[in-house]
Structure formats: C-alpha cells, structure tokens
Amino acid sequence: MLRRTFFLLAFAISITTEAQSKTETETWIKSFMSTYSNGNITFQNGIMTFDNPYDPIGFHTRASVRIEDLGGVKITEGPKGNTAIYLSCYDGNCVNDGLKSQAQASFDKFVNHKFGMQFNSSLPSDLQFRINKAFSHLIKLYGGKVLSNTF
C-alpha cells in the first residue's frame, strides 16, 4: 500500500512539473512569432499585445487583450495565402484594437471580439498544431477557458 501511494505521488509530481510555466510559454510564443511573423508580440501583467507595422493590407495594427478573457484559438489561411491565427474572446468584445495608415500620427481605436495575427507564409500543419497548443495552454494558465467551438 505504501509503495503504491509513493508511486502515485511520484507520478503526479512528474506530470505537474512537465507542463510549461506562464513565462516559459510566453517566451516560446514570442520566439515563434518573431521567427514566423513580421509583428512583435509582448506579454506584461497578463496582457498580450501584438504590434504589426507590416500588416498585409498596408496598415499598422496593434491589438491587446487580457489573456484570461480569451476563449478560443483558430488557425486558418489568411489574406494572401499566409497562415493566420485568431484568438477569440470568451464572452463579448475583449480586444482593444488600433489601426492607422502610414499618414496618420495616432491609432484609431476600437474594441473587437477576436485577435488576429498574420504569419509570413503558410505554416506546415505541425507548426500550426504547436502554436495552437501553446496559446491554448497560455489561456488556461491565466485562468481562461478554451472552448472547443468558438468560431
């Protein structure tokens, strides 16, 4: 009985220590995004911001969201055939968006129900799976709920 209890305890500890922490997950996502996207992603105090001065439609975009308010991840083909990732709000509009043309000095601001990021090219399915898993894990780490049918 004592051996079984020890084994179960050791097994439980090994499972919990294998999961990536918030910081490790954020670092991996930042590295991934800097490799495969023109934009810059930052994390600060539970808020994720994606700044993309090279948006495919010619605008400088900036979006930020509290990670815990997200509820879904979808990866699909975006404009111009590049892979795009969309993170949806769990409930309502939770994304603070900004958009400006090259001629504008400041961003036009609005709220949205999803957070979109474009990649430089079409990503292979294994990379799509990994970034989807990383964002889903991060949402859960911040106390959010990832819904299976958000789109």
Tokens of 22: 């918030």
pLDDT in tens, 54-106: 766 677 888 899 999 999 899 998 777 889 899 999 988 988 888 777 777 77
CA distance 68 to 140: 8
Verdict on whether the full-model pTM lies above 0.85: no
CA distance 97 to 83: 20
